[in-house]
Chains A and B, each alone.
Chain A
Amino acid sequence: MGDAICGRVSHKFSEFLSDLGGGVILGSTEAAVSALEIIKAASYECGSEFKDFLLRGIPSIVASRPSSQVLGNVLRMYVERFLATASEGGLRSAVEETPVMIDSLIRDLEGVREAVAEIGSRRIEDEDIILTHSYSSTVIKTFEKALARGVRFRVYTTESRPTGEGKVMANKVSSLGVETTLIVDSAVRYVMKHVRKVFVGADAIAINGAVVNKIGTSVVALAAKEARARLFVLAGLYKFSFETVFGELVEQVFLKNLESVVPKERFSELAGKVLVRAPVFDVTPPEYIDAIITEKGVLAPQAIPILVMELYGWPPRIKSLESLLEGVKRL
């Protein structure tokens, strides 16, 4: 995929794509930041080929993680700024200003995450027992801020099969100095009796307030609801799926590498007989979510459309990435 792309970043680029598709880059925000960094590097290296890099590179970035709303939204923000600069000062100045644009975009994302974590941390109280699923840097940041305020709490992390990033989460949370307990995903209902609050991140938020996140999140939410534990989703608005306003469904992705589901040495037992399916995301319905914590405040999931209207008008005036790239082509 990357070989036709401007020579000097082509190797780095194809490596990045495979990390992205293979799930090496864990969080969706981290993936978006890495995508921006690689565009920044390309703006230095590609010179006159940069326009071509954008036209080919951006669609292939999006294609390697089709479910990531963040990636699409963040790339759109960048291309919007790129086009605006180009229409004033021409293509060349847009290329030259790309590093500045990207640094400021990354700063904005950081700011959003800071705000989300700041607000989220206020929902953590002394003696809380918290459960979290999968890996989320925003959740980690939220814990950090609660700790800084002197709040003491304990955390359960789920293994988060099949990819197992819950183990990374356990490591990170524990190294903050929080008492951390790792459990298998199946033990969620067993421990939920003791859990007061559940904090999870999100890959995307749909217009009805449903949250798309790593597979198993909706199971955790159901178990929380049954046990009357509160469920908070920490998500900046850059995770909002504008497409869902127009009736699009968020696309499911299936794991291609099934070694994490069936250990290699047991493949032969099942080969040719048993189908193995590993969906990567699931959808948690809004009625299982107590609040979505955004940079604009704590919201009922059903209030998401109101916030979107306030910020972007109704229906939201958002151009698709495709039409923005058409604009780049015409430059």
Chain B
Amino acid sequence: MTKEYRLPEDVVAIHNGIKDMSIRGAGRIARYVAIALRKAAEGFGGQDVSEFLRYMDYVGAYLRGARPTAVSLPNAVSYVLSRLRRGHLASVDEGKRIAVSAADEFINYANNAVKVIGELGAKRLENGDVVMTHCHSTAAVSVITNAHRMGKVSKVYVKETRPALQGLITAKALADEGLDVTLIPDTAARYYMKKVDKVVVGADTVVANGAVVNKIGTSLLALIAREARVRVYVATETFKFSPYTLLGELVPIEVRDPREIVDEAWLKENHGVKVFNPVFDVTPPEYIDAIITEKGVIPPQASLLILIKEYGVELREFVDQLPPIKEEELRD
């Protein structure tokens, strides 16, 4: 596993794009990872099957390392690699075929999922609703635009979403669909919440107890909504549910460069000031009214259902790998 491989340029470009956030959003990251795996498979030179599998594992690990928080990334990798491993490959060409079709299948699935989420989510909105959203989520935008086409949404408040200002992307996307959009600073969310009926946001990762990891400020928005008795919906594909959390793993929250918040000159002048830039936060399940997935609308506490249905087999594989617990240890 320690062997280094030369990777196709496209694979490196996607890895770097995810890392520097020019490819962002958990859904898009997953789709690009599938593309990268396809390109990697196509670019493999040798004829040795086990060497091919080691190479694909290497690419998988390389892509996984691009960003720590979004589980869609390792899930997309697992989707493709698990199909490869189950394939009992006779040749490298067969392996390539399986990898390419698994990657395409995943991309199709992901694109279709956004559409289905939009349709299901739109049913949760009602005529005249004023909606507030945070950051940029393709799934959340799909819900809001679908509802708008049904004539339901009267207005959308979009939070700017510092530091990277993804709210501007959302504001433009919604305005292009003909929605009445008002962009507000993050600090003004509570000021406007009185006028809002529903909050719709996306997710980066959904964990086993139904807590949602999403862009920093989401949990604050959910708290503000709860105070005003405004419903909170999370729109997300099921490949953002994290099977690892079922095994007790915590989701690592990525902390990024201070220069996303203040510029170099400011940092120099204020070298005594630390700048803390966590990218995500965790919204507890009790602040979420429902999670809208392509497999249906569920209460967040039922996230286990998705994990068992989608990852049941693999989980058993994971659990089997854990060392057995000895009775003495339990008594300690």
**Which residues does A use to contact B, with CB under 8 Å?**
156, 159-162, 167, 170-171, 174-175, 179-191, 214-216, 218-219, 222-223, 226, 261-263, 266, 269-270, 273-279, 282
Quick check: B276 and A191 within 8 Å, CB to CB? yes
Quick check: B278 and A261 within 8 Å, CB to CB? no
Quick check: A262 and B183 within 8 Å, CB to CB? yes
Write out the residue numbers on chain B whose beta carbons fall within 8 Å of the beta carbon of A181. 273-276
**B158-180 toward A: CB 8 Å interface, digit per residue (1/0)?**
10111101001001100110001
Quick check: B219 and A184 within 8 Å, CB to CB? no
Does B227 sit within 8 A of A, measured CB to CB? yes
Near A by CB (< 8 A), chain B positions 173-223 give 175-176, 180-191, 215-217, 219-220, 223
Does B262 sit within 8 A of A, measured CB to CB? yes
Write out the residue numbers on chain A whose beta carbons fall within 8 Å of the beta carbon of B78. none
Quick check: B262 and A182 within 8 Å, CB to CB? yes
Sampled A-B contacts (23; CB under 8 Å):
A161-B185, A162-B160, A170-B270, A180-B273, A182-B273, A185-B185, A187-B216, A190-B281, A215-B188, A215-B191, A216-B187, A262-B183, A266-B165, A266-B168, A269-B168, A270-B175, A273-B175, A274-B182, A276-B182, A277-B188, A278-B185, A279-B188, A282-B187
Does B301 sit within 8 A of A, measured CB to CB? no
The 8 Å CB contact of B185, one of A188, A215, A222, A226, is A215
Interface residue count for B (Cβ, 8 Å)? 44
Quick check: A184 and B183 within 8 Å, CB to CB? no
A219-B190, A270-B175 known; A180 vs B162 contact (CB < 8 Å) = no
The 8 Å CB contact of A261, one of B183, B220, B269, B272, is B183
Quick check: B216 and A184 within 8 Å, CB to CB? yes
Quick check: B175 and A274 within 8 Å, CB to CB? yes
When C-beta atoms are compared, the residue in chain A nearest to B159 turns out to be A186
Does B16 sit within 8 A of A, measured CB to CB? no
A181-B276, A222-B223 known; A275 vs B182 contact (CB < 8 Å) = yes
Quick check: A274 and B181 within 8 Å, CB to CB? yes
Near A by CB (< 8 A), chain B positions 262-296 give 262, 266, 269-270, 272-278, 281
In the complex, A275 Cα to B277 Cα: how many Å? Answer: 28
In the complex, A162 Cα to B162 Cα: how many Å? Answer: 10
The 8 Å CB contact of A222, one of B161, B190, B215, B266, is B190
**Which residues does B use to contact A, with CB under 8 Å?**
158, 160-163, 165, 168, 171-172, 175-176, 180-191, 215-217, 219-220, 223-224, 227, 261-262, 266, 269-270, 272-278, 281
In the complex, A175 Cα to B272 Cα: how many Å? Answer: 8
Quick check: A184 and B261 within 8 Å, CB to CB? yes
A interface majority secondary structure: mixed
Write out the residue numbers on chain B whose beta carbons fall within 8 Å of the beta carbon of A182. 261-262, 273-276
A180-B273, A273-B175, A274-B183 known; A222 vs B261 contact (CB < 8 Å) = no
Shortest distance between the CB of B75 and any CB in chain A (Å):
25
Write out the residue numbers on chain A whose beta carbons fall within 8 Å of the beta carbon of B188. 215-216, 277-279, 282
The 8 Å CB contact of B184, one of A171, A175, A179, A277, is A277
4 closest Cβ contacts across the A-B interface?
Answer: A186-B217, A216-B187, A273-B175, A174-B272
In this complex, the member of A160, A171, A184, A261 whose beta carbon has the largest number of chain B beta carbons within 10 angstroms is A184
Quick check: B186 and A184 within 8 Å, CB to CB? yes
Shortest distance between the CB of B324 and any CB in chain A (Å):
36
Quick check: A188 and B220 within 8 Å, CB to CB? yes
In the complex, A175 Cα to B269 Cα: how many Å? Answer: 11
In the complex, A187 Cα to B256 Cα: how many Å? Answer: 13
Quick check: B168 and A262 within 8 Å, CB to CB? yes
A161-B160, A270-B171 known; A183 vs B276 contact (CB < 8 Å) = yes
In the complex, A161 Cα to B188 Cα: how many Å? Answer: 9
In the complex, A266 Cα to B171 Cα: how many Å? Answer: 12
In the complex, A156 Cα to B182 Cα: how many Å? Answer: 30
